[in-house]
A and B are shown apart, each in its own frame.
Chain A
Amino acid sequence: MIQLFKPRAPTEDHVLLRWALTLLALSFIGVFLILPLALVFREAFGDGFAAAWTAINEPDALSAIRLTLITAAIAVPLNAVFGIAASWAVAKFDFWGKGLLVTLIDLPFSISPVVSGLIYVLVFGLQGWFGESLRDHDIRIIFALPGIVLATIFVTFPFVARELIPLMSDQGREEEEAAVSLGASGLSTFWRVTLPNIKWGLLYGVLLCNARAMGEFGAVSVVSGHIRGLTDTMPLHIEALYNDYQYVGAFAVASLLALLALVTLTLKSILEWRYADEIAAVHHH
């Protein structure tokens, strides 16, 4: 006798409830996430592709794009090196104070981006600790590229470290010990044994680090000085355009960053689906 319908398993929800919750979840995500994203592209290209292109091709926008790219090109590799060094120290050795170190690394995530920028102004700004001596030597950190890079580094340095520390801790030390017992030097061991094992986790961390570095707004806003064509990164330029009621221009530049976000999400998902074991054992953002 063929069963015409399957009775509901005791741990399954009622079909009406399933529909209701699914629709609720979809609407929530739709309203809060999809709509804003759609709006960015609609406003950018609503007047046609040409209008958006003109806005992006304009000198101030181009220099903002350049500044953003340069900042990321400096901050991301530095933070990657830091992430590797920190996770090597934490994962392959035992020492007192490890927990404190890991907490310190997590610190930027608990600080407001504006405060992140503020602390550099307090050190390097005109009325900051080194303000006078910097001015005497005609070195500009705040309101110039170095300040922007510093603030960006601060806000994004945890990303790579937080991916690699659990990953390398999970992988243990045995392969490296084996390499050393077979006669490999430190560099050799890292290059031939450790790096291949962490490459997807490293890529993942660099991806997140880069997305944040290019999109950082609050911290950079404090240290930048907002000099158009000089110290405006893309997010700051977007703010300037928007406050000037140049909506097409603002959303056109914003759509570039939104596109970057979508590419980041796609790559992130691909890495997560295909290399789940090689990316962090414990995942927390």
Chain B
Amino acid sequence: MSLVIEKVTKEFGRFPALKGVSLTAPKGSFLALLGPSGSGKTTLLRILGGLEYADLGHVAFEGEDWLTIPARERKAGFVFQQYALFKHMTVAKNIAFGLEVRPRRQRPRAAEICRRVEELLALMQLDGLGGRYPSQLSGGQRQRVALARALAIEPRMLLLDEPFGALDAKVRKDLRVWLRNLHDRLGLTTIFVTHDQEEALELADLVAVMNQGRIEQIGAAANLRNSPATPFVAEFLSGIATPSPSDLSSSLASIH
């Protein structure tokens, strides 16, 4: 098992955001944290990214004591809900950021940084947009810049906070497939947070349904739908159409 989360607990003041959450996920899996707002999914994601500290509990990733590593050194690529792009920097500078702030010994040379940025721009289908500023881009494009920026540091895990929340339905559908594709290509352990059941079940290998700071059930998409462990899970997952294979391939075709 590559990612082991053990009884992680977090309180904000007197509000219990996470109440002893545990889960395991194999390396390279695509895990979704699914639940309504207030379920603690974003808090858990931020703890994995080092942006919040857990009050109790342990996390091990690839054998390391994850929570003792400072956020700076974790190399957990984080994609924020509102992208958090550096608005005064160009797209290229945004993506290069993680490489440019490395200590001198670990920093690649300028030419190498340039090359990597170009590579990522191509990968994200943002060719030619390197010189633009975030305000000049569409929502979908900004999303991909945020992703490129996180990938530039060659992260060990990819964390996405409601990545498609701010986008309209068509763009969302396209990006979903595209993200799954990217994951399959890179083999990165990816964890994403969403409140959209359809999205979670369609994309992820493993889905953890959360409610009020606890994991109600965790398992593969099909299992959750067919054998919900609690009434909450059953109700939360009710009324979703299962995408057929032809839907998926036509979506894939449309973004190329």
Q: Do A and B share a direct contact in the complex (Cβ within 8 angstroms)?
A: yes
Q: Which of A5-13, A21-29, A131-139, A171-179 contacts B (4 or more CB under 8 A)?
A: A171-179
B80 to A196, Cβ gap below 8 A? no
Interfacial chain A residues near B152, Cβ < 8 Å: 182
B78 to A178, Cβ gap below 8 A? yes
A177-B84 in contact given A183-B73, A184-B101 (Cβ < 8 Å) = yes
A178 to B84, Cβ gap below 8 A? yes
Contact of A175 among B86, B98, B102 (CB under 8 A): B86
B129 within 8 A of partner (CB):
no
Contact of B101 among A175, A177, A183, A197 (CB under 8 A): A183
Which of B47-98 touch A at CB < 8 Å?
49-51, 71-78, 80, 82, 84-88, 97-98
A194-223: CB near B (< 8 Å → 1, else 0) gives 001100000000000000000000000000
A164-194: CB near B (< 8 Å → 1, else 0) gives 0000000000110111111111001000110
B98 to A183, Cβ gap below 8 A? yes
Interfacial chain A residues near B142, Cβ < 8 Å: none
Q: How far is the CA of A181 from the CA of B77 in the complex (A)?
A: 7
What number of A-B contacts does a CB cutoff of 8 Å give? 63
Q: How far is the CA of A175 from the CA of B84 in the complex (A)?
A: 5
A184 to B82, Cβ gap below 8 A? no
Interface size of B in residues (CB-CB distance below 8 Å): 26
B149 within 8 A of partner (CB):
yes
A177 to B51, Cβ gap below 8 A? yes
B153 within 8 A of partner (CB):
yes
Q: How many of chain A's residues touch chain B, expressed as a range?
A: 10 to 19
Interfacial chain A residues near B74, Cβ < 8 Å: 181
A196-B153 in contact given A179-B97, A183-B102, A185-B72 (Cβ < 8 Å) = no
Interfacial chain B residues near A188, Cβ < 8 Å: 101
A182 to B101, Cβ gap below 8 A? yes
Q: How far is the CA of A197 from the CA of B149 in the complex (A)?
A: 19
A179 to B101, Cβ gap below 8 A? yes
B76 to A181, Cβ gap below 8 A? yes
| A175 (CB) vs chain B CBs: closest residue | B84
| B50 (CB) vs chain A CBs: closest residue | A181
A174 to B84, Cβ gap below 8 A? yes
Q: How far is the CA of A181 from the CA of B75 in the complex (A)?
A: 7
Which of A178, A180, A192: most chain B CB closer than 10 A? A178
Q: How far is the CA of A182 from the CA of B74 in the complex (A)?
A: 9
Interfacial chain B residues near A184, Cβ < 8 Å: 72, 97-98, 101
Rank and list the top 4 A-B pairs by shortest CB-CB distance, nearest first. A182-B98, A174-B84, A184-B101, A178-B84
What are 21 A-to-B residue pairs whose CB atoms are below 8 Å?
A175-B86, A175-B87, A177-B51, A178-B149, A179-B86, A179-B97, A180-B50, A180-B71, A180-B72, A181-B49, A181-B71, A181-B72, A181-B77, A182-B97, A182-B98, A183-B73, A183-B102, A184-B72, A185-B101, A188-B101, A192-B101
Other contacts beyond A182-B77, A183-B102: 6, CB < 8 A: A175-B85, A178-B80, A182-B98, A183-B75, A184-B101, A197-B87
Q: Which residues of B contact A (CB under 8 A)?
A: 49-51, 71-78, 80, 82, 84-88, 97-98, 101-102, 149-150, 152-153
Q: Which residues of A contact B (CB under 8 A)?
A: 174-175, 177-185, 188, 192-193, 196-197
